[in-house]
Amino acid sequence: MVGDSWTHKIARVCILPLVKTPVTPNHLTILRLITGIAACSAFAIGTKEWNLWGGILWLISSFLDRADGELARVSGKTSEWGHKFDYFCDVTVTSLFFVGIGIGLRDSALGYWSILMGISAAAGVVAAEILAEIIDQAQKDTGEKAYAGFAGFDFDDVLYLFAPVVWLGWHYPFLIGASVGAPVFALVTLYKLKKSDL
């Protein structure tokens, strides 16, 4: 399905100079994975300076997640393998975000519980992403998604907010909420899958 969110439209314009170059969508996906892991590693250090750099890298990684798909569509270089690789990178980076901030908050009042909370949130993200992908693939012909966007924003555009959440120091309550919320969200997605009989 062709993305039509605001970030997809911006990415579509930005990748146009790359269409007739040796740069492939997979190159951008690899760069997305590298910057995403670097961001999560920076968050894991837990200092204000590293959180700032982590947030910048996170925003770059999130934008590259849009750019690789747009380059694939505009250049006609879409492939089943490319989609699976992109999906794997998305799940990896998003789940590692919570592990990263969990490690980064180990010296907070949460202590080392923060790491377990990060792992819990990451596990919920992985489960929810896998279940949502099953739903999306089953409904590929209709263009419907497990979680639709609104007002020109995709559901996963919320990822752009993760950087300011850390910059503002809100990742402490965010981690606590996600450690419970992400597994619950996975259960809700499982319910949607069961209910849709896919």
* CATH code of 84's domain: 1.20.120.1760
Q: 184 lies in a domain? A: yes
Q: Is residue 165 part of a domain?
A: yes
The total of structural domains in the chain comes to 1
pLDDT by 10s per residue, the chain, length 198:
445 677 878 888 888 899 989 999 999 999 999 999 999 999 999 999 999 999 999 999 999 999 998 999 898 888 889 999 999 999 999 999 999 999 999 999 999 999 999 999 999 999 999 999 998 888 776 666 767 666 566 777 899 999 999 999 999 999 999 999 999 999 999 998 888 765
Domain with 70 in it: 6-196
Q: Quick check: is 1 in a domain?
A: no
| pLDDT at residue 149 in the model | 60
Least Cα distance to 63 among 196, 163, 147 occurs for: 163
Per-residue confidence (pLDDT) for residue 136, from 0 to 100 = 82
Q: Which residues contact 91 (CB under 8 A, 6 or more apart)?
A: 125, 126, 129, 130
What is the model's pLDDT at position 1? 44
Residue 125 lies in a domain: yes
Nearest to 175 by CA among 126, 119, 92: 119
For residue 154, the model assigns a pLDDT of 72
In a domain, 129, yes or no: yes
Q: How far apart are CA 39 and CA 158, in angstroms?
A: 17
Q: What pLDDT score does 197 carry?
A: 67
Contact assessment for residue 118 and residue 111, using Cβ atoms and an 8 Å cutoff: no
Q: Evaluate whether 194 touches 184 at the Cβ level (below 8 Å).
A: no
